[in-house]
Amino acid sequence: METLSSLADGFVIALTWQNLLLAFLGCFLGTMMGALPGLGPSNGVAILIPLAFTLGLGATPSLILLTSVYYGAMYGGRISSILLNIPGDEPAMMTCLDGYPMAKNGRAGEALSLSGIASFVGAFLATWGLILLAPQLVKIALLFGPAEYFALFTLAFATLGGVASTNQAKTAFAAALGIGLATVGVDTQTGVPRFTFGEVHLYDGIDFLVAIVGLFALSEVFLFLEHRHGNADASGHKVTVGRLMPSWSLLKSCTPTMLRSSFLGFLAGVLPGAGASLGSFIAYTFEKKLVDKEGTFGTGDPRGVAAPEAGNNAAAGGALVPMLALGVPGSGTTAVLLAVLLSLNITPGPLLFTQQPDVVWGLIAALFIANFMLLLMNIPMIGLFTRVLLIPPRILMPIVAMVSFVGIYGISGSSFDLVVMVGFGVLGWVLRKLDVPLVPIILGTLLGNAMENNLRRAITIDNGDWFALIDSPLSIGLWTLAVIGFLLPIIFGKVVKARIRHMARDEEGATID
Amino acid sequence: MSDRIFGAVGLILALGYAWAALVIEESFLSDAVGPKAFPLIIAAVLGLSSLVIFFKPDAAPNWPALPRLMEVGAAILVMVLYAILLPELGFVIATALAATYLTWRLGTTPVSSLVSGCLTSLGIYAVFHLVLGLSLARGPLGF
């Protein structure tokens, strides 16, 4: 009951004209960014953070804008999967498998609207899951002391590579690099400068927004330059969208699939180290095992479109649970959303729910609003979004680069930060070539200081005894999970990744002939 | 081979980081842990993972051929120049130049690149400065 009244308060906050307009704008931009191949949800949110920040929006309005972008990008990813067989972002990979064959059979419109509805169901249920689960998690989190928090951060890093990670050494390297970057600047506890080499600009540390925008957005530009993706235009593909609304019987036959997939996706989102990509993968494979008796999956079965879309949108909602309740994001995009919170001076975690309930519930209400808007927007306006796909990347990428520059310059007005950002862009490009994940770097720059502070607090409380870190059963449990989470992918990672790739290749072969 | 070089660079980075941590001047007022301990732990993680990467390298990625590499290099140079010249030239001119260059190098014909670059610059200026009121770099011409 208490939850419902808080939620009602949230709606009061979210339902102002300004916030509705921001939600609309966010949904629209998000869907576009999701739809464009190469610009995923992390990129989209990353580019827009500095803008929301420099526009002087308050905490709740900025959050509404950016989470709408986040949900929107999750919706948008399916459009290019279905129409072009190119996933708009990573989680939409599984949607290609049945979405593209459906489009080839002349049912593109149905596939698009069905997947829109599946996305809605997934995100809607996941938002309810968030409302129910997050306050419970908060109760547990209130028992955490500094030592437990330090263990929790370690757990987050250890599992960030995910089950599908192939090289844990590279994940560890990336995390250490990120945390190392966070230690640059004046030490918060004793006031001595560290790793600044006398450069005044470095005294307040490296702005994580500069790092994020450089690593994500600019490295994408360099990748395009390297491959000269100019030829990846959509001009060659002419797809007739066809009938827009799916029939009731089709929707009815997909409903159980959507419900099951939403549940699985939500779980995958909440658990550390899984995230939306795995959510859609699990949802699809499970559904295939369960209902695919005639072997129609992969040849344009509508259920094969509904399952991964419900799964990945539910996972997107689920990933918000640990981010809001514990302050520890479990996926790349939620890491970027954490950056939003931190740059707005909001520290997520258990105290957020008690101290700033307006932010939390306003955000949750905004998620509901965004979700409805996206559903409404995605069915009639689908034609507009498909046209966006016709903008060639050679025009688009420079715009992305320039908007990134504008955002960062807007924050600090310093050329130095822009040069640092270009540096991060180059670093991001090289690391991506070397298959080093970028998300741990981002998370490291975001959480590095909090992690160090908790470590030092824990040990100072116990008068310099380092065993304070493994003093309570709770922290021992977290450490054990961290070790297991780190070691598991070394054993199983290759198997899982090979299976994802294998499936994707199989289907590709099937659609070519 | 790429991973061997990467591992070696990572190791040097870890050693350098550890050295820089060791020479941090400690303040007379310090907590039980001090400002050095945490960076040293991180340096250890960095070093160990670099060693693993060095001794168990993955297959090398496809590095672009020299001309493509030059292409990326030139783009980096243009972006750095853009960052430095932005306050000198003003937002509109600098952005138009940089956007034109990038569009051209991504495979658009020179004339369309120029048009697209100028439109990008003016468009961003109109949306972010005139509509949203963001303060952008002012050049000698006032825009």
Whole-angstrom distance, CA of residue A421 vs CA of residue A435: 21
Q: Are residues B19 and B72 in the same domain?
A: no
Question: Within its chain, how far is the Cα of A268 from the centroid?
Answer: 13
Which of B55, B79, B95 marks a domain boundary?
B55
Whole-angstrom distance, CA of residue A4 vs CA of residue A405: 42
pLDDT tens per residue, range A252-278: 888 888 888 899 889 888 876 666 677
Under 8 Å between Cβ of A422 and A267 = no
Q: Are residues B70 and B47 in the same domain?
A: no
CA of A390 vs chain B CAs: smallest distance (Å): 15
Q: Does any domain span residue B33? A: yes
A418/B82 Cβ within 8 A: yes
Q: What is the pLDDT of residue A234?
A: 44
Chain B CB contacts of A183 under 8 Å are 38-39, 42
- Worst-scoring range by mean pLDDT, A75-84, A333-342, A461-470, A502-511? A502-511
Is it the case that residue A290 has pLDDT exceeding 60?
Answer: yes
| Residue that has been written with the tokens 């593909």 in this structure | A237
Closest partner CB to A179 (pick from B42, B102, B133) = B42
Q: Name the band, by pLDDT with cuts 50, 70 and 90, for residue A500.
A: low
A228/B72 Cβ within 8 A: no
- How confident is the model over A308-322, as a mean pLDDT? 87
Q: What is the pLDDT of residue A509?
A: 43
Taking a contact as any Cβ pair under 8 Å apart, which residues of chain B between 32 and 91 contact chain A?
A: 32-35, 38-39, 42-43, 45-46, 48-50, 52-53, 56, 58, 61, 63-64, 68, 71-72, 75-76, 79-80, 82-84, 86-87, 91
Q: Are residues B77 and B101 in the same domain?
A: yes
A226/B71 Cβ within 8 A: yes
Q: Does any domain span residue B46? A: yes
- Can you tell me the ipTM of this complex? 0.91
Chain A CB contacts of B107 under 8 Å are 228, 230-231, 394
At B17, which amino acid appears?
Answer: Y
Q: Does any domain span residue B78? A: yes
- A227-230: long-range contacts, CB 8 A cutoff, minimum separation 24: A228/A394, A228/B68, A228/B106, A228/B107, A229/A38, A229/A393, A229/A394, A229/A397, A229/B106, A230/A392, A230/A393, A230/A394, A230/B106, A230/B107, A230/B108
Q: Does any domain span residue B74? A: yes
Greater pLDDT, A329 or A476: A476
- How confident is the model over A322-332, as a mean pLDDT? 82
| Contact A253/B at CB under 8 A | no
Is it the case that residue A232 has pLDDT exceeding 50?
Answer: no
| Contact A222/B at CB under 8 A | yes
Under 8 Å between Cβ of A194 and B24 = yes
Q: Are residues B70 and B51 in the same domain?
A: no
A192/B86 Cβ within 8 A: no
Total domains in chain B come to 2
φ/ψ of A185, rounded to 5, equals 120, -175
Q: What is the pLDDT of residue B28?
A: 72
pLDDT tens per residue, range B115-134: 999 999 998 888 888 877 77
Q: Are residues B86 and B107 in the same domain?
A: yes
pLDDT tens per residue, range A4-47: 888 888 888 888 888 888 888 889 888 888 887 767 777 788 88
Q: What is the pLDDT of residue A380?
A: 76
Most confident of the ranges A54-68, A258-272, A334-348, B3-17: B3-17
A12-A32-A343-A178 Cα dihedral, nearest 10 degrees: 140
Q: Name the band, by pLDDT with cuts 50, 70 and 90, for residue A473.
A: confident
Neighbour-count burial for A448-481, b at 16+ CB within 10 Å, e otherwise: bbbbbbbbbbbbbebeeeeebbebbebbeebbeb
For B114, the domain range is 66-131
Residue A342, phi-psi category: left (phi > 0), alpha (psi -120 to 50), beta (remainder): alpha
Q: What is the pLDDT of residue A233?
A: 45
pLDDT tens per residue, range A487-499: 877 777 667 666 6
A218/B79 Cβ within 8 A: yes
Q: What is the pLDDT of residue A512?
A: 34
A231/B52 Cβ within 8 A: no
| Contact B106/A at CB under 8 A | yes
Q: Does any domain span residue B142? A: no
Is it the case that residue A503 has pLDDT exceeding 70?
Answer: no
Q: Does any domain span residue B136? A: no
User: Chain A: residue nearest B131 by CA?
Assistant: A55
- How confident is the model over A453-461, as a mean pLDDT? 88
Q: Name the band, by pLDDT with cuts 50, 70 and 90, for residue A92.
A: confident
| Contact B135/A at CB under 8 A | yes
Whole-angstrom distance, CA of residue A249 vs CA of residue A302: 12
Q: Are residues B81 and B127 in the same domain?
A: yes
- How confident is the model over B82-90, as a mean pLDDT? 89
Neighbour-count burial for A237-257, b at 16+ CB within 10 Å, e otherwise: eebebeeeebeeebbeebeeb
pLDDT tens per residue, range B17-50: 999 888 887 777 777 788 888 999 999 999 999 9
Closest partner CB to A225 (pick from B39, B71, B120) = B71
Q: What is the pLDDT of residue A430?
A: 92
Per DSSP, the three-state class of A295 is coil
Preferred mutation among A47, A49, A168, A170 to probe B, highest tally of B CBs within 10 A = A170
Q: Where are the alpha helices (DSSP H) in B23-109?
A: 37-55, 66-89, 91-105
| Residue that has been written with the tokens 């994020």 in this structure | A212
> H-helix or E-strand containing A186?
strand A185-186
Q: Does any domain span residue B139? A: no
Under 8 Å between Cβ of A160 and A447 = no
pLDDT tens per residue, range A157-191: 888 766 556 688 888 999 999 999 999 988 877 87
Whole-angstrom distance, CA of residue B64 vs CA of residue A349: 44
- How confident is the model over A37-58, as a mean pLDDT? 77
A225/B72 Cβ within 8 A: yes
| Contact B119/A at CB under 8 A | no
- How confident is the model over A218-240, as a mean pLDDT? 65
Encoded tokens for B109: 């014909």
Q: How far is CA A403 from CA A325, A345, B97, in A?
A: 32, 24, 14
Q: What is the pLDDT of residue B101?
A: 92
Q: What is the pLDDT of residue A240?
A: 62
pLDDT tens per residue, range A414-456: 888 899 999 999 999 999 888 888 888 888 888 888 899 889 8
Residues making up chain B, counted from first to last:
143
At A314, which amino acid appears?
Answer: A
Chain A CB contacts of B45 under 8 Å are 172, 175-176
Whole-angstrom distance, CA of residue A388 vs CA of residue A394: 14
Whole-angstrom distance, CA of residue A242 vs CA of residue A106: 6
| Contact B27/A at CB under 8 A | yes
Q: Does any domain span residue B60? A: no
Chain B CB contacts of A402 under 8 Å are 95, 98-99, 120-121, 124
Whole-angstrom distance, CA of residue B39 vs CA of residue B27: 16
Taking a contact as any Cβ pair under 8 Å apart, which residues of chain A between 15 and 54 contact chain B?
A: 51, 54
Q: Name the band, by pLDDT with cuts 50, 70 and 90, for residue A508.
A: very low
Chain B CB contacts of A226 under 8 Å are 64, 68, 71-72
CA angle A23, A25, A31 (to 5 degrees): 100
The CB density around residue A1, as the number of other CB atoms within 10 Å, is 5
- Tell me the pLDDT of chain A averaged across its residues: 82
- How confident is the model over A344-372, as a mean pLDDT? 85
